Chain A
Amino acid sequence: MVVPLRDDARAFCSGVSEKLCELDEHEWDALVSDENFYNSYRWLRALEHALGETDVLTVRGPAGLVAACTLWNGGQSPGLFYLPSFVADIPGPWQQKFLWLGGRRNTHNGVSCIEGRRRFEAQAELGRCASDYARDRGYAGFVMPYMPYSAALKFADAIGGTVILHSAEASLEVPETGLSGVMARWRKHARVQSKSEIATFRRLGSRVEWAAAVELDDSLAADLITQNRSRYGGVSDHEWMQKILAGQRTAGVSHFVNAAISKRNDDITALTIFYSFGTALHARYFGANYNLDLNDFRYFVLSFYEPLDYAAANGFTKLRLSTSALRAKVKRGAKIEPQALVAKCVDGQPICQHSANQHNLRTLRQYQDEFAGHLCRDWELVESNPNLTS
């Protein structure tokens, strides 16, 4: 339906862009759907303030930006961002350097791209641009990790990439009645357990307050978050976390912050930082003072129970709960969504689609075994939409 102007006038062109800060914030965000917070302009700018600038790939049409993404190098040691650990059973040059598309350390990615009929074409051009960038700089290929499975299928189709299931994310639909509405769907045992956790939290003198970023002390928040990360094997220190939060303030991400804080008397004992975006609340950081010997279920109160009521009262329809501690989240009503990376090698060496399909099916079975009854419908796509065997 778009006016058939000359082909060269309608064609997309792509390249390594000027810096992110030189791109128009609103033009970028016009490509960002409600589900793609971690590729929104301010989040990416916050990462730049904290961790330094990165290159940006852009695709433009005659009327402006139609697709874009930031680039980074992934993690270099085992962890959430270490490619070899995602694909150990698939032959490929995984020990070589791969280019990563999307925001740094994102555990939820989507392609920032126009919607509609020309989305496929715009994504294809972004893929060509990523291939050229990777080839020119000696990368073996590129990946976009932590994509919702359905989005990964479409991106892979557009760029001739391979979909590799590698992770899962928990989320909760928020009914208008909040926590009570969610509990009404549970079995009695689960309801009793959650009510008991909430009662314990209160009996031990804890209460919850919600705070905007302006009311938060970044140093204290960084301390609590770092304590929690250290407890579970994280290596980033207090200074690193404070730098991240400072970057968010500079970039204006703090505008989206909603923090659930647990207090005893006037002492902050824990917090969960959420970001509101579109119709979802995105849980990103939990922190706690583990010097206090408190067994008051503050993680669950701050990250599940209270946010359900808060979300319902403020018109949010989804809680996004990230990729960790899935068992605990499922026990409290969360659904598990499949996440995949899209990979493409640039040296002409194809990724074995058969191996990728077998890997995906094995991963599917693992999640089916572990989380039966808690998987969202997108998991059905793993069986019904395999990679095309080359």
Chain B
Amino acid sequence: MNTASSDQFNEYASIYEDMSQWPFRKYIEIPSVFQEIGDVDGLSILDFGCGTGMYARWLKQRGAGQVVGYDLTEGMLNYARRRAEKEDLDISFVSHLGPELIGQFDLVLGVYVLPYATTRPELQAMCADMVRLMRPGGRLLTLPIHPVYDPHPNYYEPYGFRLIAEDPENPYADGERVKLELCKNGEQGGVFAWYWSATSLERALEQAGLRSLKWRELSASAYPDANQAPKELHAYLQRPHSIIIEGVRG
């Protein structure tokens, strides 16, 4: 993510934190991520693109060892630092990845960061940055835009946002710019993201040194069957806007 791309988040800290309570995240994304991560007891974890530090705080509360949150957006880091201070959570939030962090982490989590790579070289660099932080055998979990998200502009509106491809005729073009508009409580602003195909994502991750890539669909893990999930979640579960990619550093 470059500086201009990160700058767009500066005034969205509170709303991003609030989003953790929106149903698609609360009942689908977050439980899916935790299920995939599994036991974190004692693990050293870096939350890459930590935003307000929501995942970092939860991981620390669930028993992780060293937790570091990394983000380029000062507005997000202010929120993350103030909140962790008040909750007495020993988490370091940084805007720079120093050499002391290289190869230190059992797990790197990158939620909604790859969509903010604006070019293919930037996507490659971002993947390399994440993998470099992992110890050999360490895991990466990352959530890009789903390669087959629903490109209908209003599809996700009931979930509080719109994903609008800049070229609606060609929404799955690699590097296509996508507008993410927040609209849960009226028009609340928005940011630009970039769509990357499954092939591009896999290539970038593998070139960065990741092995054993697995794709995991998001699910409402509290419900044994998706049909038993609340009806209002069904459309999202059918076409989630994101997906989990997991891999191991070789």
Contact = CB atoms under 8 A, between A and B. Distances in A.
Contact of B11 (A6, A9, A32, A61): A61
Given A29-B82, A30-B75, A32-B78, A3 B190 contact: yes
Contacts of B61: none
A1 B192 contact: yes
Interface string B1-13: 0001101101111
Given A1-B8, A26-B79, A33-B78, A65 B192 contact: no
Interface stretch (B101-109, B168-176, B179-187, B233-241): B179-187
Interface in B174-205: 179-182, 186-192
B146 interface: no
A266 interface: no
B75 A2 contact: no
B191 A2 contact: yes
Interface in A2-42: 2-3, 5-6, 9-10, 24, 26-27, 29-34, 40, 42
Q: A62, A117, A252 — which one has the most chain B CB atoms within 10 A of its CB?
A: A62
Interface in B129-146: none
Interface of A: 1-3, 5-6, 9-10, 24, 26-27, 29-34, 40, 42, 61-66, 114-119, 122, 252, 255-256, 276-278
A3 B78 contact: no
Given A3-B179, A30-B79, A62 B85 contact: no
B189 A61 contact: yes
B190 A116 contact: no
Interface of B: 4-5, 7-8, 10-15, 17, 52, 73-75, 78-79, 81-83, 85-86, 88, 179-182, 186-192
Contacts of A40: 82
Contacts of A119: 10
Contacts of A1: 4-5, 7-8, 191-192
B103 to A, nearest CB: 22
Nearest to A9: B187
A256 B188 CA distance: 34
B79 A29 contact: yes
Contacts of A10: 189
Nearest to A118: B11
Contacts of B189: 2-3, 5, 9-10, 61-63
Contact of A252 (B11, B86, B187): B86
Contacts of A116: 7, 10-11, 73-75
Contact of A114 (B15, B75, B85): B75
6 contacts: A1-B5, A29-B83, A30-B75, A63-B14, A116-B7, A118-B11
A262 B179 CA distance: 59
A59 to B, nearest CB: 10
Given A1-B5, A26-B17, A29-B78, A118 B187 contact: no
Contacts of B10: 114-119
B11 A114 contact: yes
B14 A3 contact: no
Contact of B182 (A32, A63, A118): A63
B178 to A, nearest CB: 11
A36 B142 CA distance: 34
Contacts of B191: 1-3
Q: B14, B82, B180 — which one has the most chain A CB atoms within 10 A of its CB?
A: B82
Q: A1, A40, A63 — which one has the most chain B CB atoms within 10 A of its CB?
A: A63
- What 5 pairs across the A-B complex have the smallest Cβ distances? A116-B10, A29-B82, A3-B190, A30-B79, A115-B74
Nearest to A12: B11
Given A1-B191, A2-B191, A116-B7, A255 B82 contact: no
B39 to A, nearest CB: 27
B17 to A, nearest CB: 7
Contacts of B181: 3, 5
Contacts of A26: 14, 17, 79, 82-83
Given A116-B11, A278-B81, A255 B86 contact: yes
A199 B88 CA distance: 35
B8 A2 contact: yes
A66 B75 CA distance: 10
Nearest to B17: A26
Nearest to B83: A26
Given A1-B4, A30-B14, A115 B78 contact: yes
A30 B190 contact: no
A118 B9 CA distance: 11
B30 to A, nearest CB: 18
A2 B78 CA distance: 19
B164 to A, nearest CB: 9
